[in-house]
Amino acid sequence: MRALSLCLLVLTACEPPPVYPTADRRQNTELSRVEGSVVVSSRARGNVVVLLFDAARPPPPAGSGRPVTFTVLSRDAVFGAAPDGDTGPFTAPFAFSLVPAGKYLVRGFIDSNLDFIPWYDVTSQVNAGDVGGAAIEPTTRANREIGVDVKTPALDVPVSFSDTALVPLDRPSFAVDGGNNPDGGNALLLTPTGGAQVLELTPLPIDAGVIHQSRPAFLARFIDDDLNGVPDDANKDGVPDFWPKVLVRKLTSVAGANPLLDENDLDKNGVLDAAAFEDYEHFNFTTMTSVPADGKPDAVVLAAGIDPTELAPLLIDPLTGLVRTSPVPVGKLTLVIRPQAFDLSNPLAPAPLKTVPKGRYAITLVQLSGQTWRLPNELQRGIAERFGLPIVESQSFVIEVP
């Protein structure tokens, strides 16, 4: 018996050690995949771009999520030698590999202008003439939420494209009037102890080099989610909720980093970084006390919004007195920015900050269509040259808090 026990002990001691695919066990993550086909019923021609989003972080206008990954199907792979005017349907397979377990949305578009360049904000969205597509629920026509786990990949996912989703206008590229920097430069100085500042945004056609935004427009509409014909006021600030929406967010101040990156998002994935972050004191207006920095990264934004006063008559039906359901193209927007900052790391509960952090802030305009435009961007002098993009002086505009 003792000999048997010794044998078992020796065998146990000699069991092979666990084997990992990499020496770094943090990378030992089991992944899955999403596969399917695009189904195109359209006269449009071009490459088909398919995008994968985390369902918890949808893209504009529902959220501010960025693609987890993407793939591009060539025009030939989708349309072959089909003549112009033929609406198909056309099909072609797509696949995303190395997908972590989770829930996802699949979106896409036909890049009819062949101007999609994913690496730059100014070239990474749809323009006039493109055709949108998505994986949808066949009965409700709502976006389909696709579940993936390691043992159950998502297969046979259809992504439908139709001319009913034709994009009518370019992105809302814009210029700003109202800079007040006494030292010159294309900037607005926002003094923390000063009052609100007012800027005028106007559509700016840009059609040079690889940038094709010749038909920009602002699409204005009151928000009426409860369908009672009266503009909503979700945050109870006395200002009707309104499209387009605007976000004024702090840019990074990390030395050597791309100056266009959001603070605390240096990998540009739309998720706050876990390290190398800035953290600020909050303020509780109920108790009028400071809340110490909690060691978590903040997403700092300024109190800002579009003033709809001048546009209101255009957005109400004169016969019924109710909110128009269709957006109205307008020639300018009045942007009001107040010297108050919030932490938007929890979008459902913006937390006031004790002070307005010093630094540079970017303006992002979000259309009801989901198209966005942001200043400053890669078309500013000093950056555009390095990327082979055209220089557009107005695109360097920035908010500065001294």
What's the pTM?
Answer: 0.88
For 193, counting Cβ atoms within 10 Å of its Cβ (0-12 exposed, 13-18 middle, 19+ buried), the class is: exposed
Instruction: Please answer whether residues 199 and 188 qualify as being in contact, where contact means their C-beta atoms are separated by less than 8 angstroms.
Output: yes
Six token digits for residue 75:
């025009």
Instruction: Please answer whether residues 342 and 350 qualify as being in contact, where contact means their C-beta atoms are separated by less than 8 angstroms.
Output: yes
**Separation between Cα atoms, residue 176 and residue 163, nearest integer Å:** 34
Residue type, 130: D
In three-state form (DSSP H/G/I as H, E/B as E, the rest C), the secondary structure along the chain is CHHHHHHHHHHHHCCCCCCCCCCCHHHCCCCEEEEEEEEEECCCCCEEEEEEEECCCCCCCCCCCCCCEEEEECHHHHHCCCCCCCCCCEEEEEEEEEECCEEEEEEEEEECCCCCCCCCHHHCCCCCCCEEEECECCCCCCECCEEEECCECEEEEEEEEEEEEECCCCCCCEEEECCCCCCCCCEEECCCCCCCEEEEEEECCEEECCEEECCCCEEEEECCCCCCCCCCCCCCCCCCCEECEEEEEEECCCCCCCCCCECCCCCCCCCCCCCCCCCCCEEECCCCEEECCCCCCCCEEEEEEECCCCCHHHHECCCCCCECCCCEEECCEEEEEEEEEEECCCCCCCEEECCCCCEEEEEEEECCCCCEEEECCCCCCCCHHHHCCCCCHHHHCEEEEC
**Separation between Cα atoms, residue 59 and residue 37, nearest integer Å:** 21
What was the pLDDT predicted at 23?
54
Residues in the chain: 402
What region does 268 belong to: left with phi over 0, alpha with psi -120 to 50, or beta? left
The CATH fold of domain 29-166: Immunoglobulin-like (2.60.40)
Low-confidence ranges of the chain (pLDDT < 70): 1-29, 179-185, 276
Evaluate the CA torsion angle 249, 208, 172, 187 in order and state its sign.
positive
Closest CA to 36 of 132, 131, 161: 161
**Separation between Cα atoms, residue 248 and residue 338, nearest integer Å:** 11
**Separation between Cα atoms, residue 402 and residue 399, nearest integer Å:** 10
Q: At 8, phi and psi to the nearest 5?
A: -65, -40
What was the pLDDT predicted at 228?
94
What was the pLDDT predicted at 370?
95
Strands 218-222 and 206-208: unpaired
What was the pLDDT predicted at 181?
56
Residues of the chain with CATH 2.60.40: 29-166
